[in-house]
Amino acid sequence: MKIAFLGTPEFALPSLDMLRTSGHELAVFTQPDRPVGRHATLTPPPTKAYALQYGIPVFQFEKIRLPEGVAALKEYAPDLMVTAAFGQLLSAENLAIPKYGCVNVHGSLLPKYRGAAPIQWAIIDGETETGITTMMTDIGMDTGDILLTDRLIIEENETAGDLFARLAVLGAETLRRTIQVIESGTLVRTPQNESEATKCPMLKKEHGKLDFSQSALSVHNRVRGTNPWPGAYAMLDDCVLKIHKTQRVDRQTGNEPFGFLSGNAKTGLFVRCADGWLEVLELQATGGKRLNAKDYLLGKNLEGKVLV
């Protein structure tokens, strides 16, 4: 099958690799190169780097719905379009081009968690299960008919980065099965139940701010869901303290205020939340390195200080 693959980040690579190794004719449509790092080095998206490695044609557009993007898609004339974390909205004109329409690989069990950050918000909200949905793309935000779903369990201490990697691999397999049923003519489309739909916004830096008046589980989920980006943080003595990793513990509570710190280099570091304590396992001070909490506490006394 002749496929136009629209994808940008690492999440899209397993699906792209599956399509290539399955023998489909491919072209990659992706975002422009972006400046990355301290020196703002112009860097290609992961899908472009992959495509160039295997001699797959690459097209880059800031907005593929504009006339030049539509023209490039029409000229390529795909049988099918596949999107996986493309990062742009498609127009009705885009979607009318391929014979079999456009299939999106989405990192949630739709209709729940429509939007830009379904993986992160599932963790932040304390979900214990998520998965991949393939859907027919329409001009709405993740509103198209559901094709296939595959589920997986979210582990207790799994971060968004960990879950991204697992869902990316699962997404490739769900996409493989979806294309098989398209080719066989046995595709079943199931409209989404709008009454069950939820939307999740794109993450911003402020979503990483921790609130210790919440339960230990809620704080733990916020740390996990914002790792690796934007990262969880709190303020200590007017300085930003990044918190990379935590775990729930059973520790006796008293009348400590929310955010109260306790512990030392031998016992570890603990922070008081609404209903108990959370152990801080990895953290990073402003301008410092990411450290194990016990190493961070060497020569420091944080007992009685309060994170806000």
CA–CA separation, 16 and 29 (whole Å): 11
Q: Are residues 188 and 278 in the same domain?
A: no
Which tokens sit at 236?
């200590």
Total tally of structural domains belonging to the chain: 2
Q: Are residues 191 and 213 in the same domain?
A: no
Q: Are residues 115 and 162 in the same domain?
A: yes
Q: Are residues 37 and 161 in the same domain?
A: yes
CA–CA separation, 304 and 308 (whole Å): 13
- How far apart, in Å, are the Cα atoms of 239 and each of 81, 99, 167, 278, 287? 48, 56, 35, 20, 10
Q: Are residues 51 and 193 in the same domain?
A: yes
Among 174, 200, 226, residue at a domain's last position: 200
In a domain, 307, yes or no: no
**Which residue, 213, 221, 202, is CA-closest to 128?**
221
Place of tokens 């990062």: 87
Q: β-strand 25-30 against 58-60: which pairing, if any?
A: parallel
Q: Are residues 76 and 152 in the same domain?
A: yes
Q: Say what the alpha-carbon torsion angle 180, 182, 188, 193 is, to the nearest 10 degrees.
A: 100
The predicted pLDDT at position 67 comes to: 97
Q: Are 67 and 48 in contact (CB under 8 A)?
A: no
Amino acid found at 108: S
Terminal-to-terminal C-alpha distance of the chain: 55
Q: What is the pLDDT along the chain (308 residues), one digit of tens a residue?
A: 999 999 999 999 999 999 999 999 999 999 999 999 888 999 999 999 999 999 999 999 999 999 999 999 999 999 999 999 999 999 999 999 999 999 999 999 999 999 999 999 999 999 999 999 999 999 999 999 999 999 999 999 999 999 999 999 999 999 999 999 999 999 999 999 999 999 999 999 999 999 999 999 999 999 999 999 999 999 999 999 999 999 999 999 899 999 999 999 999 999 999 999 999 999 999 999 999 999 999 999 999 999 99
Q: Are residues 265 and 186 in the same domain?
A: no
In a domain, 302, yes or no: no
Is cis: bond before 230, omega within 30 of 0?
Answer: yes
The predicted pLDDT at position 234 comes to: 98
H/E stretch holding 279: strand 276-285
In a domain, 303, yes or no: no
In a domain, 306, yes or no: no
Q: Are residues 143 and 73 in the same domain?
A: yes
Among 151, 169, 200, residue at a domain's last position: 200
Note the helical H segments in 59-117. 67-76, 92-95
Q: The pTM is what?
A: 0.96
Q: Are residues 156 and 217 in the same domain?
A: no
Note the helical H segments in the chain. 13-21, 46-53, 67-76, 92-95, 118-124, 160-184, 216-225, 293-296
Which tokens sit at 176?
């493989």
In a domain, 301, yes or no: no
Rounded to the nearest angstrom, the gap between the alpha carbon of residue 51 and the centroid of all alpha carbons in its chain is 22
Q: Are residues 51 and 194 in the same domain?
A: yes
Among 146, 170, 200, residue at a domain's last position: 200
Q: Are residues 184 and 228 in the same domain?
A: no
Whichever domain contains 27, its CATH number is: 3.40.50.170
Quick one: DSSP state of residue 117?
-
Provide the angle, in degrees to the nearest 10, between the axes of the packed helices 46-53 and 13-21.
20
Tell me which residue range forms the domain holding 170.
Answer: 2-200
Q: Are residues 195 and 236 in the same domain?
A: no
**Burial class, 287, CB count within 10 angstroms (exposed 0-12 / middle 13-18 / buried 19+):** exposed
Whichever domain contains 273, its CATH number is: 3.10.25.10
CA–CA separation, 283 and 243 (whole Å): 4
